[in-house]
Structure 1
Amino acid sequence: MNYIMTGVNQKHQGIEIGLEKTLFTSHVIQGAFGYGNYYYTNRPTAQAWQDNNSTQLFTDRTSYIKNFRVGGTPQTVTGIGYRYNGKKRWYAGVTYNYFSQTYLEPNPDRRTAEAVEKYSSTDPMFKQIVEQEQLPDYFLINLNAGKTFRIAGKYLLNLNLTVNNLLNNRNIRNWGYEQMRWDYSDVTKFANKYTYMPGATYMATVNFNF
C-alpha cells in the first residue's frame, strides 16, 4: 500500500541546560538536562493506493493524531559526569545518562474513524488500536580517557579512548515504529518494530597537530 498524508504539522519545543564546575583544580563535575515536547498539532488527511496498480483504496481520510507524540527520540535526557585532569596532560572521566519519554512513531491509519468504527470507546480493542506505545526508560554509563604528548617541543599528539554502554546492555529498545500494515481485528498480528542499543562499543582516536 502506498500511503500519503497531507497537511501534517508538528511542534517541537524544549529547554536544554548544561553546567560544568571545576573543583580543586583537577576535578570537574558536569551536568546536563534536556526536556522536549514534540507532538502533532493537527489532524492531517490521508489517501492510499494499492502497491501493484493505481487502484485507490481511499481518499480524504482524517487521521486523529493531534497531540500524539512524535516518535523516534527521547524527549527527556539527564546526564551527570565526572572528569579528572591529570598534571601531565591526561584525563579520565565517566558519564551517566538517563533517557525517558521515547515513543513509537504512530501509524496514522490506526487513528481514523474507520479503524475503530466497530468498537465503542470502552472496548479494550479500541484502546489497543489507538493508544501510542511509550518505550521503557533506560540509562547508559560511558567512559572516556585521553592523553596529550608534546613532541620536539612544538608538535602535539592526542590519544583518546571512549567506551559507550559500559554495562553492555543489549536489551535497551531505543527506537521503534508501528507497522503500516495491520489487522483491524488483531493489532498484534503485525507487531511493532524496535531497534536495540548495541552492546559496549569502543572508539580510539589519534590526532597529530603540527
Structure 2
Amino acid sequence: IQTAEAGYIMNSPKLKIRLSGYYTMFKDGMDVMSFYHDSYQNFVNYAISGIDKLHFGGEFGIEANVTPTITVNAAAAVGRYYYNSNQNAVITVDNSSEILGQQIIYAKNFRIPSTPMEAYNLGVTYRSPKFWFASLTGNYFDQSYLSFNPIRRTWDALKFETPGTAAYSQIFDQTKFDADYTIDFFGGYSWKLPKAYEINHKSTFLVFLLGVNNILNNKDLVTGGYEQLRYDAQAAPGDPVNVGKFPPRFYYAYGLNFFGSITLRF
C-alpha cells in the first residue's frame, strides 16, 4: 500500500474550514470466490490475483455562524476509486486441487463498487436561546457502481461479440447507479427541572431528541448491489445474450424512518 494525504484546517469564531486530499494505491491484492459455474457444471473456487486498486480524491467542509442562532454547514467529498490492473484467475473444483482453467479478467478502469464517489451535504441549524435546536440537512450522492461478475469480463464471455456493439456492452459494461438524494431532520429540547427534582443537588435536565431521516420517503435510493456469479454464457456464435437469466441483486435505503430519545442528565 502506498498512500499520501495533505490537508488544511482553519478555525475562527465565525468560520471553520477543512480541506484535504488523498491518494492511495493498493498492489497485488487477492480474492477467492466460490460459486456454481455453468460452463464447467460444477461448484468452483475462483482465485483472483494481481488486483491493483487506486483511490484518490478530496474533501471539503465549511461551517459558518451566520447569526448568533443560525449555523450553515456544507461538505463535499469527491473521489475516484477504481481497479488499476487486469487480473488473473485460476479456477479449481470446490474442495479439490483440480485446475479447470485460467483466465484474464479485463477489469482495469472498472470502478470500486457500492460506494458513492461523490457526496454533497448542505445543512442549516437553528439554536434557540430557549434551549431547543432544529437542523435540516440535504444529501446528494453520485458515482456509485454495481459489484461486477468477473466472468463476464473475460475472453470466454466476450469471444462471440464485437467490441462497441450493444450485445458486447450488455455483457461487459459496469452498471452505474442513478444519482440520488435524501433530506434529514434532527432536533432537540433541553428542559431544566425545578429544584425540587434535582438529583444530588445538581442542575438536572430532561433532554428530548428527535431524528427523522429521508423525510421525502425516497425509496429508490440504491445503496449497493452485485451481479450474480452464475452466468449463462454463449456456447456458439449467434446464441442470444441473456445476462438477465441471473439478474443482479440490489440493496435499497430505508424510506422515511425516525428515532427519538429522552435522557435524564445531572
Task: Indicate whether the TM-score tops 0.5.
Answer: yes
SS of structure 2 residue aligned to 1:66 = coil
Which consecutive residues of structure 2, in runs of 5 or more, have no partner in the other structure? 1-34, 36-44, 235-241
Distance 1:156 1:16 in 2: 37
**Alpha-carbon separation, structure 1, partners of 2:50 and 2:210:** 46
Query: Is 1:64 matched with 2:113?
Result: no
Structure 2 matches for 1:41-190, cutoff 5 A? Answer: 41-51=84-94, 55-59=98-102, 61-151=103-193, 152=198, 153-185=202-234, 186-190=242-246
The separation in 2 between residues aligned to 1:163 and 1:199, in whole angstroms, is: 10
User: What TM-score results when the alignment is normalised by the length of structure 1?
Assistant: 0.91
Aligned equivalent of 1:199: 255
Distance across 2 between alignment mates of 1:57 and 1:154: 73
Distance 2:100 2:262 in 1: 57
Unaligned runs of 5+ in 1: none
Give the distance between the partners of 1:161 and 1:92, measured in 2 at CA.
9
**1:159 CA drift (Å):** 2.4
Matched, 1:32 2:75: yes
| 2:51 alignment partner, SS class | coil
Aligned length: 209
> Alpha-carbon deviations, 1:61-107, whole Å to 9, x = none?
11110111000111100110111001122100100000001100111
Given residue 20 of structure 1, which amino acid in structure 2 is its aligned partner? Answer: E
Q: Structure 2 vs 1, CA of residues 45 and 208 (structure 1 numbering), >3 Å: closer, same or farther?
A: farther
1:140 CA drift (Å):
0.1
**Cα distance between partner residues in 2 of 1:123 and 1:76:** 30
Does 48-57 or 171-180 show the bigger shift?
48-57
Partner of 2:23: none
Distance of 2:47 and 2:247 partners within structure 1: 22
Letter in 1 for 2:121: G
Distance 1:162 1:196 in 2: 20
Superposition CA RMSD, Å: 1.8
Query: Which secondary structure state, in structure 2, belongs to the residue aligned with residue 34 of structure 1?
Result: strand
* C-alpha distance in 2 between matches for 1:88 and 1:123: 65
Residue of structure 2 aligned with 1:20, choices 38, 63, 66: 63
Q: From the CA coordinates, give the structure whose radius of gyration is larger.
A: 2
